[in-house]
Amino acid sequence: MLVSGPVWADAAGDDAYLKELIRQARETRLSEQRYWHLLLHYRQDLTGGYTSEVDDPGFFLAPNGKTSPQAELEATLAKFFSDELVGRSRQSAQCAFLARYQWLKSQLAIDDRRLPPQRCERFQSWLAEMNAQSITVIFASAFMNNPSSMFGHTFLRVDRKGQTEQTRLLDYTIHYAAQVTTESQIAFVVLGVFGGFKGYFSALPYYIKVQEYRDLENRDIWEYRLNLSEDQITRLLMHTWELDNAYFDYFFFKENCSYHILSLLEVADPRLHLTDQFVAWTIPADTVRVITEQPDLVIDIAYRPSRSTQIRRKRELLSHHEDRLLLRLIETPAVAEREPFASLLPDRQAFVLDLASDYLLHRLATDPEPSAAARDLQHSLLVTRSRLATASPETTIAPFTQRPELGHKTSRVGLGSGWRQDEFFEELSVRAGYHDLLDPEIGYTPGAQIEVMSFNFRHYNRRDQTRLERFKLVDIVSLSPMDSLFKPASWKISAGYDTVNRADCRYCGNVNVNGGVGAAAETRWLRHEMYFAFAELDANYSHAFDENHRVGGGGTVGWLADLTERWKILLSTTYLRYPLGEDSDDWRFSFQQRFTLHKDLALRLEFNHWDRHDNEAVLSVQVYF
């Protein structure tokens, strides 16, 4: 029996040697070392103690292992002497928790004669299948039609030895995601925000993830190959193996895919302090930025364009005549057998046919129920293309959106001054994340706005009053331009608090929810312009209104334009009619512009008009951090 500390009734083997190992561990204070905390995902809490972010009881070998690093270390040593199957993977402790075993063995110089190592054939077979040569961080760009993917997604690819850039699709990925247990979109958002799903690690072939993100969801992919040694890669894979015994409560904004991928990299190289930089929220673009900022960590960056990006870029290379032929081919493949298509040079015929085939593949992949007619069209095009003995020309595809780490940082603070209804004020604005329509576009999806937790505080000079002027819980806009091939819908949704200016209720608080669907188009007459229109519903609750509320609908039209690389403007006008609650209507007009002084520094001027002669202007300097 042990002289002090917990008693492990199931400990087997040399009890004296177990006592000796525990004594060494206590003397060297192993349970306080950073690497042990990384392996168990411990975080210091407000009381000075530690709590693991792992929520699966099967990950811990001590009853209080979630909150006691010392107890978990001693229980782990005891279990190493046992053949008892532990964890969800049902293996001996040495094999279920290989990274723990290898680290403790190295720190305590464990004698193999007194604690014999066990054969871990399942792990060795898995490790051989991985056949890892390097590790690559994968970033899939934002997908606006899925709440959990609006900010992008990151995961790891295990690059096998002997693969080339052309065969990378056969590699495996290490992927962390929530196990979704509901089909309700509302429940999905609520449970995702408040940790109602369990998150698991899994290993899937890369081609499955590429098909999902690049081909089905039309998301560009960026690949960041890391400079990790063989030992570091092995440590990462051993800990990944351990995490088969664990689930984490999944939080969209904090403990998400990107956060836990960073924790794997810290296990590979404990000199990295990556997760420490994310306290309240974790945005994938920020995690990529943090990785690229580490000296000598990223050694190569590659780009995989989505299928829609490839189609749009290749279409830019068509003449007007060829573009008209493309549209006709998509509907009637027999056009390829007649003039004027037959008069094109063979390489141009091949290019147009390939592009038409790519578009039909895209349509088949994204249509939930593709018709037999669509499949017949695709087959006819392929048959026609096979008769043309001309190789497909190589085309370099440039991204529409630059790499995420090149963009502005996602949090923002602003200082400004202005007036509203003849009252001057100073304003402090704070935004947790992430990007709005006027922010510098480099690194972000064009026409996409996602603002979360933004506050505007104002001090009005005449009344010497400081107040919360506006609060946005969430404000999302997706402007997806339509053209003759792609016809995505645009949409918007917002929820928050603002102020209403009435003669009998000056700056009254108002809770507002707004949503709408619409369409957008783009031109490049100046530099890049988007035109948009929404039909929308609007609901308000405020003591300023009769019956304390009003509900109605209307529409918004607007124009968003990049006048120069640094100067961007947004014009919009809205009409809303409220038949429910207070019977009223409202005209709104907004003119906003942003001038970028630096990637993370901008100057913004806004003018807003609301019905009933309520006007506002504000000039502010905004810093991204």
Q: What are 477's strand-pairing partners?
A: 449, 492
Q: Are 568 and 436 in contact (CB under 8 A)?
A: no
SS3 328: helix
Residue 572 in this model has a pLDDT that exceeds 90: yes
Under DSSP, the state recorded for 392 is: P
User: CA 242, CA 123: separation in Å to the nearest integer?
Assistant: 10
> What is the arithmetic mean of pLDDT over 387-391?
89
Domain segments of the chain: what residues? 15-119, 127-304, 318-386, 407-624
Give 393's pLDDT tier (boundaries 50, 70, 90).
Answer: confident
User: CA 379, CA 369: separation in Å to the nearest integer?
Assistant: 17
> What average pLDDT does the structure give for the chain?
93
Would you give the distance in Å from CA 485 to the centre of its chain? 27
Note the pLDDT of residue 367.
86
| Phi-psi group of 123: left, alpha or beta (phi > 0 → left; psi -120 to 50 → alpha; rest → beta) | alpha
Note the pLDDT of residue 1.
29
Note the pLDDT of residue 504.
82
Note the pLDDT of residue 501.
86
List, in order, residues 6 or more apart from 125 with CB less than 8 Å away. none
> What is the arithmetic mean of pLDDT over 237-266?
96
Selected residue with higher pLDDT from 371 and 508: 508
Q: Are 558 and 573 in contact (CB under 8 A)?
A: yes
Residue 550 in this model has a pLDDT that exceeds 50: yes
| Token duo for residue 17 | 């040697």
Would you give the distance in Å from CA 305 to the centre of its chain? 17
| Residue 111 phi, psi (nearest 5) | -85, 115
Residue 3 in this model has a pLDDT that exceeds 80: no
| Phi-psi group of 90: left, alpha or beta (phi > 0 → left; psi -120 to 50 → alpha; rest → beta) | left
User: CA 109, CA 234: separation in Å to the nearest integer?
Assistant: 19
> What is the arithmetic mean of pLDDT over 297-311?
96
List, in order, residues 6 or more apart from 145 with CB less than 8 Å away. 217, 478
Give 185's pLDDT tier (boundaries 50, 70, 90).
Answer: confident
> What tens digit of pLDDT does each residue of 123-178 get?
999 999 999 999 999 999 988 877 667 899 999 999 999 988 888 999 999 999 99
Under DSSP, the state recorded for 39 is: H
| Residue 181 phi, psi (nearest 5) | -120, 15
User: CA 576, CA 384: separation in Å to the nearest integer?
Assistant: 53
Residue 99 in this model has a pLDDT that exceeds 80: yes
Closest of 250, 77, 81, 255 to residue 180, by C-alpha: 250
Closest of 404, 416, 17, 73 to residue 220, by C-alpha: 404
User: CA 308, CA 141: separation in Å to the nearest integer?
Assistant: 13
User: CA 587, CA 549: separation in Å to the nearest integer?
Assistant: 18
Kindly provide the residue ranges of all beta strands, DSSP E only, lying in 91-214, ordered along the sequence. 132-140, 153-160, 172-179, 197-205
User: CA 154, CA 261: separation in Å to the nearest integer?
Assistant: 8
> What is the arithmetic mean of pLDDT over 289-317?
96
User: CA 90, CA 9: separation in Å to the nearest integer?
Assistant: 20
Which residue has 């009223």 as its token pair? 584
Note the pLDDT of residue 9.
38
Residue 266 in this model has a pLDDT that exceeds 80: yes
Task: Report how far apart, in Å, the C-alpha atoms of 590 and of each of 216, 306, 421, 517, 573 are.
Answer: 36, 35, 16, 19, 6
User: CA 189, CA 149: separation in Å to the nearest integer?
Assistant: 12
Number of Cβ within 10 Å of residue 410's Cβ equals 25
> What tens digit of pLDDT does each residue of 328-373 get?
999 999 999 899 999 999 999 999 999 999 999 999 988 888 888 8
Q: Sign of the CA dihedral 70, 72, 78, 81? A: negative
Model confidence, pTM = 0.91
Residue 255 in this model has a pLDDT that exceeds 50: yes
Residue 462 in this model has a pLDDT that exceeds 80: yes
Beta pairing, strands 172-179 & 197-205: antiparallel
User: CA 461, CA 426: separation in Å to the nearest integer?
Assistant: 8
Residue 2 in this model has a pLDDT that exceeds 80: no
Q: Output the CATH code of domain 407-624.
A: 2.40.160.40
> What is the arithmetic mean of pLDDT over 526-535?
96
| Phi-psi group of 109: left, alpha or beta (phi > 0 → left; psi -120 to 50 → alpha; rest → beta) | left
Q: What are 537's strand-pairing partners?
A: 515, 553
Overall residue count recorded for the chain in this entry: 625
SS3 235: helix
